[in-house]
Structure 1
Amino acid sequence: MRRMISSNRAPLVLMFVFSAAMGTMGPAIPVFQEVFGLDYSEAALNLTLFSGGALLGGATVGFVRRAIPRQVIVILSLLGITCGGVLVILAVTPALTYVGAFIMGLLGVTSLTVGQAVLGEMYPDDRVVTLSRGHLLAGWGLLAGAAAVALGRTTGFWQLIFVIPMAFAVLALVMGTTRVLPKRPLNDEMEDPNQEGVSAVTWVAAALTGLAVVMELGVTAWAASYLEDILGFADVIAAGATVVVLSGLVLGRIALTRWVGEFRLTSVMLTVLGAVVGSSILYLGGPVIPGPGGTVVALIGLVLLCLLVSTVFPLGLILTMESAGRADAQEGASEMAVTAGGLAGITSPFAIASLADLLSIQIALIGVPVAAVVSALMVLWVRRRLGRQLSVPAST
């Protein structure tokens, strides 16, 4: 059968497909509330279980990737997104949506980890810029997920929300994405059974990716709820506005691909994290201003936050993989970052939802600037430990 996709594009497609599935879960929280009569915590449990599945999948894939060809792992991943989506669509009770979301995360996450690892292996001398471009495609996937939610709410056919990421997964299979992937890591022959363990710096860098997920989910997953409940937007308008606002995710990652190789990695991260704190003040403090001016300020803050938080996870991932050093450690470092992100994905939606039920979504989202401050302190520690090793050369 003639291949419909090239080997260098296959990992990008995989990252896009998983991100599209993940991108539906947060913006769909108000949908789950309406369809099943749930509160914040109950509706957010779908996102929590999706992230929990991703955490478990990311933690276990390392044990099976040496025994099972990558093609098989990715086929199972794409089928998992499809089958999990079917369960959500056919759900008549929240319990079935919970199971479907968990399956989508558990099996789907390997598309992300394999995609990241293959990109790093294919372009070892330009890994930083290549991974940032990969996460640009992932940003498009998140935007596609939000667009699916807007389409489902506009048409009144909420099941359409999950049909779209399922269609992406099926299309990836039909296009022959799995057939062009290397069966084993390209650097398997370089592995040393007596290699040193993971350094403390790599662990801290991986933890940074977890905090990046806290920030990104805090902005993207709750944007629709914030627009409806705090700024008073109608549900359909809020869904459409969320798509427009989340376009900032893509713009932020476009900027990242252009500039990441031009400046010191840790300096870029510190600048971004400082700007996240400032933008959070606009976003969360805007409604305090009376009249339409407060809404405008809040929307400006939200757009800026989308631009900024979209870059933190890719930067954290690059930092994690760069700190690992050895080429044979790249896939393990990628899995560590995804595992940290999955752990954050489990805890942060539940924490924010619980605070939103108890107080308000506006107060609950103070966790975003707090995570940015903690992340900045961790970046400073990493920079002190590694110093000039984190100066990233520009792409040629």
Structure 2
Amino acid sequence: MRPAPRTGPRRDGLTLAVFVLVLVSALLQGSLGGLLPFLQADIPMSHTVGSLHITALAVGGLLAATVAERVRRRHGRMPILIGSAALGAIGAGVIATAQSPAMSIGALVLVGYAMSSTLIAGQALLVALHGRHGAQMIGELNVAYSVGAVAAAAALPVVAATALGWRGFPAAQAALLIVLVLPLLLRGRSSVDADSTGPTAGRARVALRRPRAAYAAMCLSVAVEWSFIFWTATHLVDVGGFSAPTAAGAASVMWAAIVAGRVAGSRLVGRLGAPRVLVASLLVGIVAVALLSVASTPVLAVLAAGLGGLAAANLYPASIALVVSGFPQRPDAAVARASLLTSATSIAFPLLLGAVADAAGLQLAFMAVPVTALLALGAIRIAGPAPTAKPDVAASDQSDKSYQGATS
């Protein structure tokens, strides 16, 4: 999470606030799968009702992506981030005290809305603050999210075993948001106006021939990413014939590779550009599918899962950076639209793959993943070459009024 070079202490302080907000917000999302058994033990509910908790997160995210640009034009980025921290704290607090499924499901809609708003406004703010280093900062922000999610999975059973019980975990997250994150955001807001006009660190000259094709590349890349995340373990069991413990072990290796890949990718995006990192990730994904389809030993299974994790690691961060690079004067609108499209893709494509698997078998259905990767490579080619990343010293940050004029 090292800040990009050539930024002043004020911008570094605001950058730190955004990173801490994302990391703490990821604690509840990353622990949701582990929280559900505790929740179901305290509040009797069916598996269908339990699954609605996961859907609630997606619904909240879709709502945020739908209204994000409108809210940003009216209020600015920093009020969105401050409001997201407050909503996240309220949602976590309600989960910590929930006595019915309606309370916990409603709380997770708030949590999903807060997390999505945080990512939309936070990524656009980093682009405005760091100019030509914005792509690297988007990658590092996703590293912060991954660190928070992994920390949550490890910390939940520890907290649940204490006198606080499992409810202490969302309560602790709410406390962190109120006591730590909100003061950081308020201090950052007072030290630098995130929506004002001022010199940037240098904005890249964009060379995308067809910027709108970047949206197609992003959706196709996210479809590949979520296919690995949702289906790798099931593929190893149903197609490879491995035991569930072996598949679970391979899945843990995949997640470790995702975190390591994002750490490396955040540096590579800054040096090589988002398109090159995206192309490399898609090619690794194609190799991972080929290896997964022939894996016959635990070693090959783990290797295939690890390659799948490396492929999935940077598909979202690099594709978001690609989209933003095509719309440098409208990062908020670009990120909001991208978030809406990725939310819909992450819900629809895995379900579509599952439906095809039910009809024709998972091995055949999973062949849609390399096909989708090839289509994504074609979309990247249509969008055009990478930005030159040469600083434009005459460029300046756009104010909210400038963005409103550009998007109206």
Alpha-carbon distance in 2 for matches of 1:117, 1:277: 31
8 Å CA contact retained: 2:129, 2:194: no
Which residue number corresponds to residue 264 of structure 2? Answer: 255
Letter in 1 for 2:244: G
- 2:343 matches 1:336: no
Superposition CA RMSD, Å? 4.2
Residues 16 and 351 (structure 1), Cα distance of their counterparts in 2 relative to 1, 3 Å cut: farther
Alpha-carbon distance in 2 for matches of 1:253, 1:92: 38
Post-superposition offset of 1:95: 4.0
TM-score (norm 1): 0.74
Which residue number corresponds to residue 298 of structure 1? Answer: 301
Deviations 1:14-36 (A, max 9, x none): 33233333323456667778875
Letter in 2 for 1:336: R
Post-superposition offset of 1:316: 0.2
Structure 2 gap segments, 5+ residues each: 1-9, 201-207, 392-408
Which residue number corresponds to residue 114 of structure 1? Answer: 121
Letter in 1 for 2:187: R
- 2:233 matches 1:232: no
Post-superposition offset of 1:58: 1.8
Per the alignment, in what secondary structure is the counterpart of residue 65 of structure 1? Answer: helix
Larger radius of gyration: 2
Post-superposition offset of 1:6: 1.8
Per the alignment, in what secondary structure is the counterpart of residue 123 of structure 1? Answer: helix
TM-score (norm 2): 0.73
The one of 46, 50, 55 equivalent to 1:48 is 55
The one of 377, 384, 397 equivalent to 1:379 is 377
Structure 1 gap segments, 5+ residues each: 191-198
Residues 25 and 242 (structure 1), Cα distance of their counterparts in 2 relative to 1, 3 Å cut: farther
Aligned residue pairs, count: 367
Q: What does residue range 153-302 of structure 1 map to in structure 2 within 5 Å? A: 157-159=165-167, 162-163=170-171, 165-181=173-189, 182-187=192-197, 201-220=210-229, 231-233=243-245, 245-263=254-272, 265-283=274-292, 286=295, 289=296, 293=297, 295-302=298-305
Per the alignment, in what secondary structure is the counterpart of residue 348 of structure 2? Answer: helix
Alpha-carbon distance in 1 for matches of 2:255, 2:211: 30
Deviations 1:44-103 (A, max 9, x none): 432232122112112202112232244432222112222222333444554443222211
Which residue number corresponds to residue 145 of structure 2? Answer: 138
8 Å CA contact retained: 1:272, 1:308: yes
8 Å CA contact retained: 1:82, 1:166: yes
Residues 103 and 385 (structure 1), Cα distance of their counterparts in 2 relative to 1, 3 Å cut: closer
Letter in 2 for 1:320: V
Identical-pair percentage: 21
The one of 15, 18, 22 equivalent to 1:11 is 18
Alpha-carbon distance in 2 for matches of 1:349, 1:244: 21
Alpha-carbon distance in 2 for matches of 1:160, 1:284: 43
8 Å CA contact retained: 1:211, 1:375: yes
Which residue number corresponds to residue 67 of structure 1? Answer: 74
Per the alignment, in what secondary structure is the counterpart of residue 185 of structure 1? Answer: coil
